[in-house]
Amino acid sequence: MSEIVKIIVEGKEFEFPLITGTEGEKAIDISKLRELTGLITLDIGYKNTGATTSAITFLDGEKGILQHRGYAIEDLAEHASFLEVSYLLLNGNLPNATEFQNFEHAISEHTLANEGLEAMFRAFPTGSHAMGQLSSMIAALGLYYPKALNPHRTEEAINRTTIRLMAKMPTICAMIFKKRNGHPMVYPRNSLGYVENYLNMTFGQVTKPDFEVDPILINAMNKLLILHADHEQNCSASTVRMVGSSQSNLYSSISAGISGLWGPLHGGANQEVLDMLEQIEVDGGNVQKWIDKAKDKNDTFRLMGFGHRVYKNFDPRAKIIKKACNEVLNKLGKSDPILDIAKKLEETALSDPYFIERKLFPNVDFYSGIIYRAMGFPPDFFTVLFSMGRLPGWISQWQEMRREKQPIARPRQIYTGQTYRVFVPMKDRP
Ligand code: CMC
């Protein structure tokens, strides 16, 4: 027997189905609420609102669980490659050897980005933020494939766009990196693996054809990309789905997702964390002073890389990244005073009642920037790397929304403005 929830409105009882997900989480299905009662719900920031059902990622914020298509993030980060995880997200299952080979081969065939895109760098102001460039470049990339703009594409055409985006994203990210340094582009080498190829385009030089990427960097980058690959209905994924729900094309939907991710409360936090740690260092390393600032309600400062809308115990990605951060720095033989400040900050915050009561823990962005910095990336590039990792997640979310033929997303509102007023011509206004 299906469960129901009763809602009483002005003495009249209405029944709504209670739906249960495969992991036991429950929701009241209010899709008929307005039709039956004339009411809508108000939930600013969607803190209690499920915008969709989804079979991609399961997250239990209280228990600190994150699973993609049923596989634990800990297992994926330990044993899989980023491309394997991408296949999993996009197709629902882990690939067998042949499926993986075909996927990898298809991607390696599409790594070149049209040279015309280079012209965009002449228009970007010097020093402009890498995320603004990335969002513009991905929107522009779509213009080279006008057929992909057709909302009634076949599955085959959508798969082609998926492969193109997966293949060209690292090339475009490397292009942004090279252009800001004023260096010539290193072209993709399709014999290299996905991550190695990206790092080769980024850190290789046209004048050094023998350059080889350090395997420590390849492993670290693989892990970081996996940890960012999807995170269910967050701000950027919801943006991708919302833009896509108007039947806008995949390129523009991903470009919008990149813009959503850019904000400091979302993916942009990784850059903010590093800026914050550097500020604390310059300020003499007085961690308590900054904790007090974060607690002060008259101060707008927040401890960046701390807190999460959904995780209220720990962020499983942060645990893995913290361990990886120590490993990478050790292996690279680098010590970073910023890491010591980060550890002290974490320790102090975790024993402070303000953070304990509000269930504020380090999130994925707290330690990732320290690894990126050790690898040689500048802070405003950190969120670009997050975007590269998140790409298969965004595409999977977009594809799921489309395959399920979900309607255009169109929230309602409660109007709080002026009620009707008689129009007064300008000559008669006081
Ligand atoms: N530093 C100090 N206080 C905080 C922080 C923080 N980082 N985060 C939340 N709080 C306080 C907040 O002031 C509020 O206190 P009170 O109840 O006294 O008003 C309480 O904790 C609840 O905060 P909230 O803003 O209502 O929580 P939220 O769910 O709307 O926001 C968040 C979640 C991630 C935006 C927020 O914790 C934050 O701003 N964190 C810093 C930015 C950050 O690290 N973002 C990366 C998120 S993980 C990467 C990703 O997937 O996007």
| 354, 388: one domain | no
pLDDT for 354 equals: 97
Q: Flag whether 414 is in a domain.
A: no
Collapsed DSSP state (helix, strand, coil) of residue 344: helix
Residue 351 in domain = yes
Tell me, yes or no, whether 173 and 296 share the same domain. Answer: no
Compute mean pLDDT per 10 residues along the chain, 430 residues long, and list them.
Answer: 89 97 96 97 96 97 95 98 98 98 97 95 94 98 93 91 98 96 94 97 92 93 97 98 97 98 96 94 94 96 94 92 89 88 93 95 91 92 97 98 96 98 98
**Residue 424 resides in a domain:** no
pTM (2 d.p.)? 0.94
- 117 and 247 share a domain? yes
Distant-in-sequence, close-in-space partners of 179: CB < 8 Å, separation ≥ 6? 118, 121, 185
At 150 the pLDDT is 87
* CATH code: domain of residue 232: 1.10.580.10
Let me know if 365 is a catalytic residue.
yes
- Ligand 1 proximity of 317 Cβ (cutoff 6 Å): no
Q: Is the residue at 422 inside a domain?
A: no
Residue 39 lies in a domain: yes
Q: Which residues contact 403 (CB under 8 A, 6 or more apart)?
A: none
* Same domain for 312 and 231: no
Domain span at 43: 4-50
Give the per-residue pLDDT at 152: 84
The last residue of a domain, from among 375, 392, 421 = 375
291 in the same domain as 390: no
Q: Are 317 and 74 in contact (CB under 8 A)?
A: no
- Point out which residues pair with 306 in neighbouring strands: 362
Length of the chain: 430
Per DSSP, 4 falls in state E
CB-ligand 1 contact for 303 (6 Å cutoff): yes
| Helix residue spans in 124-232 (DSSP H) | 130-143, 155-181, 194-203, 215-227
**315 and 353, same domain (yes or no):** yes
425 within some domain: no
204 CA to centre of ligand 1 in angstroms = 39
Note whether 43 and 153 are same-domain residues: no
Considering the domain architecture, whether residues 328 and 346 belong to the same structural domain is answered as yes
Does residue 316 line the site of ligand 1, with CB under 6 A?
A: no
Indicate which CATH number applies to the domain containing 24: 2.20.28
The confidence score (pLDDT) of residue 1 equals 55
Provide the CATH number for the domain around residue 357: 1.10.230.10
87 and 223 share a domain? yes
**Is 136 in the same domain as 281?**
no
Amino acid at 173: C
Q: Ligand 1: which of 48, 358, 385, 386 to mutate, most ligand atoms within 8 Å of CB?
A: 358
Catalytic (active site) residue 43: no
- Same-domain status, 340 and 396: no
Are 334 and 235 members of one domain?
A: no
């997702």: which residue's tokens?
Answer: 257
- Nearest-angstrom CA–CA distance, 397 and 393: 6
292 lies in some domain: yes
What is the structure's pLDDT at 335?
84
Residue 144 lies in a domain: yes
Domain count, the chain: 3
Question: Which tokens belong to 143?
Answer: 């213009």
